[in-house]
Structure 1
Amino acid sequence: MTVNYLKKAQEGDIKSIEQICMATWEPLYRFIYFKVQNREEAEDITQETYVKTLTYLQEHNISVQDFPCFMKTVALNVLRDRWRQKKRRGVPVNFDEINPQETVNLEQDQQIAITQRMQIENALARLNAKQRTVLDLRIIKGYSVAETAKLVGKTEAAVRTAQYRALQALAKVLDSND
């Protein structure tokens, strides 16, 4: 993504807006999905983030370097707004439609998910700090290889190699727990 795309997008150029969306969609979606753990909600928040970001972009200047971080900030704000709205409204429950067996299955699914998450967290804790950092930035936070390389002060090739080795080490740790 270049300064040229941002300037043209500010002027309303559809092709530039498409290019920005294509360049930023995947890491932004992964970032949001990690937060909400729900595909439909992540898609909705991603879409709303683009609408708000592009509306803001029409009136203000944002540097190319700050743009991915700015989009993640907008996404977090959209997410917080949704959480606040849900908290105020609450969740309506129709007791006639509740199936006790489904409730038990839901609780079991939640317990399995919690167990899996704890296993992954324990496995991550057994990796060295560099491996955890690379996995955190690349997979959990959704940064690109270039962004991660810049943050850790290494080349992109070194980040790819470190990620590959960290994933292999993580797989070994997880396999040894079985």
Structure 2
Amino acid sequence: SARMMDLVERAQGGEAEAFGRLYDQYSDTVYRYIYYRVNSRATAEDLTSETFLRALRRIGTFTWQGRDFGAWLVTIARNLVADHFKSSRFRLEVTTGEMLDANEVERSPEDSVLEHLSNAALLDAVRRLNPQQQECVTLRFLQGLSVAETARVMGKNEGAIKTLQYRAVRTLARLLPDDAR
């Protein structure tokens, strides 16, 4: 949109407030993308911060060749997640249970179990997709990217993304138990 183009151009000119607004607009999307991949709140927060730090350092290299700024950020995040899993530090990490934030309310045990079972069945089914289908489903449904944005992030054309998405959804329908559909 014209508003986003203006913010990016102002950020490229060194205006901190413009970059702050871009952060406000896209930080949740980047965090959710990373969190789904790493399944750790602390690591997702660290990698989200690193994504925006790298974006700030390289904002001058961003060009509007039909590419959304959010897709550019997700591409940076995607590379950071890949680097995280390749690092020897990741293999040595021992995770501990996440503590509840002060503003979170604990749900009943029954609700937690039912939600966990539903999420576990869905995540298990997604993990059984091939890697490209997993990436497509993550970008389209968990991150809410459009077909065009997903195509840019994955380096494919829109028709290929539509086909990939269709096949992934059909496969998920077969993999999920009847009560989880």
**Which interval holds the TM-score relative to the shorter structure?**
0.5 to 0.7
Alpha-carbon distance in structure 1 between the residues aligned to 2:15 and 2:69:
17
Matched, 1:70 2:72: yes
Q: Say if 1:73 and 1:6 are closer, same or farther in 2 by CA, change over 3 A.
A: same
| CA contact 1:137–1:148 (8 Å) conserved in 2 | no
Matched, 1:35 2:25: no
Q: Say if 1:33 and 1:6 are closer, same or farther in 2 by CA, change over 3 A.
A: same
AA partner of residue 143 (structure 1): G
Alpha-carbon distance in structure 2 between the residues aligned to 1:175 and 1:92:
37
Matched, 1:176 2:172: no
Q: Say if 1:15 and 1:84 are closer, same or farther in 2 by CA, change over 3 A.
A: same
Q: Counterpart of 1:91? A: 92
Q: Say if 1:13 and 1:120 are closer, same or farther in 2 by CA, change over 3 A.
A: same
When the two chains are superposed, the root-mean-square deviation of aligned CA atoms in Å is 3.9
| CA contact 2:33–2:138 (8 Å) conserved in 1 | no
| CA contact 1:45–1:78 (8 Å) conserved in 2 | yes
TM-fit CA distance, 1:120: 1.9
AA partner of residue 176 (structure 1): D
Structure ranking higher in helix proportion? 1
Q: Say if 1:70 and 1:136 are closer, same or farther in 2 by CA, change over 3 A.
A: closer
TM-fit CA distance, 1:91: 1.9
Which structure 1 residue ranges, 4+ long, deviate > 4 Å from structure 2? 114-118, 121-124, 134-138, 148-151
Q: Counterpart of 1:2? A: 4
TM-fit CA distance, 1:83: 2.1
Pairing 1:142-153 to 2, within 5 Å after superposition: 142-144=143-145, 147=146
Sequence identity (%): 23
Question: Which of these residues, 16, 19, 38, is aligned with residue 18 of structure 2?
Answer: 16
Give ranges in structure 1 of 5+ residues lacking alignment: 94-113, 125-133, 154-169
SS at match of 2:92: coil
User: Could you report, residue by residue, the CA deviation over 1:8-31 in whole angstroms, capped at 9, with x for unpaired residues?
Assistant: 101110110011111111111111
**Count of residue pairs brought into register by the alignment:** 128
Alpha-carbon distance in structure 2 between the residues aligned to 1:143 and 1:52:
23
TM-score, normalised to structure 1's length?
Answer: 0.55
Alpha-carbon distance in structure 1 between the residues aligned to 2:124 and 2:44:
26
Give ranges in structure 2 of 5+ residues lacking alignment: 95-115, 127-135, 151-157, 159-172
AA partner of residue 75 (structure 2): T
Pairing 1:40-119 to 2, within 5 Å after superposition: 40-58=42-60, 60-63=61-64, 65-85=67-87, 87=88, 90-91=91-92, 119=121
Give 1 or 2 for the bigger CA radius of gyration: 1
TM-score, normalised to structure 2's length?
Answer: 0.54
